[in-house]
Amino acid sequence: MKKITLCASIFLALAVSIQSCKKETLYQPPIPVNSMPVVGNPSDANGVFKASVMHTSTKSVYGNVTSYQVGSAYAYLTDSFFNKLSIGDMYVLDDYLYKQADNTYSDVKNGNVPQGISFLIDEVNWYASGDTNSKVDSFFLVDNTKFPTVPVISDLSINTKQNFLLTAKDSIIADSTLFVITGPNGKLSKTKGPNAKSCAFTADELSTLGTGRGLGLIQISPYNSVSDTNRLVGKKIYFIKQTVASKYIDLE
């Protein structure tokens, strides 16, 4: 009887040990998703037409670096009570924008094409076919405001136990700048005012991100926002141009 009990105890201990090993082997900290940082919409806007371009690079295990850019667009129009309206078919340049459930319009990337919308120059054309039910006429808008210059990120790692100043290598000329640091356990995001090229993060804030080699994502995103009350009668619309620099780094 003692032998049977002893064998059962040994088997149980081995099973627990194997399960523990399996859990440790299978666990992989999540790599932050390299998505477009969100620029908030102005509270007094009857319409927003936002063009964003994200510049990023990936490094293979062989040390080869591949750089690419992804373009994205977002738009909506409201009535005088700020209720979003259907505006028919919507295009930016020649790319169709899909109407979402809340009557906003955005691009949808199909397959594995990485570039999204190609914004090759500052001029961006917006076209809507209009909607008789919502009493919106067709319109064509040309936005010639400038995309901010792409920031240069030189950091390779962040010590999460110390205060950190996230700084673009070159000057930034923009209305505002988003500074984002993402880790396997969380995200930090702060917005600074005109021409800001740096942003401070405390050790307490950084401690919430987690650590890991290549598990940190830095994003510096300057953007310009210009209002217009003449293009569409009775509406205050905003043209927003956003540039994003993204880089994966180590969190120590």
Residue 114: which domain range?
Answer: 47-251
Q: Is 12 among the domain residues?
A: no
- How many folded domains does the chain comprise? 1
Question: Residue 182 has what pLDDT?
Answer: 97
Q: What band does 68 get if pLDDT is binned at 50, 70 and 90? A: confident
- Please tell me the distance from the alpha carbon of residue 86 to that of residue 137, in angstroms, as a whole number: 11
- Please tell me the distance from the alpha carbon of residue 39 to that of residue 191, in angstroms, as a whole number: 9
The answer, yes or no, to whether residue 243 has pLDDT greater than 70, is yes
- Please tell me the distance from the alpha carbon of residue 155 to that of residue 177, in angstroms, as a whole number: 18
As a three-state string, the secondary structure of 83-103 is CECCCCCEEECCEEEEECCCC
Q: Which of 149, 136, 135, 52 is nearest to 92 (CA)?
A: 52
pLDDT in tens, 97-153: 999 999 999 987 544 445 689 899 999 999 999 999 999 999 999 999 999 999 999
Q: What band does 10 get if pLDDT is binned at 50, 70 and 90? A: very low
- Please tell me the distance from the alpha carbon of residue 155 to that of residue 158, in angstroms, as a whole number: 8
Question: Residue 11 has what pLDDT?
Answer: 45
- Please tell me the distance from the alpha carbon of residue 84 to that of residue 241, in angstroms, as a whole number: 21
pLDDT in tens, 93-103: 989 999 999 99
Q: Is 56 among the domain residues?
A: yes
DSSP 232: S
**H-helix segments, the chain:** 2-26, 203-206
Q: Is 1 among the domain residues?
A: no
> Where do we find the tokens 């901010």?
148
Q: Is 195 among the domain residues?
A: yes
Q: Is 198 among the domain residues?
A: yes
Q: Is 245 among the domain residues?
A: yes
Q: Is 10 among the domain residues?
A: no
Q: Is 27 among the domain residues?
A: no
- Please tell me the distance from the alpha carbon of residue 171 to that of residue 151, in angstroms, as a whole number: 8
- Give the chain's mean pLDDT: 87
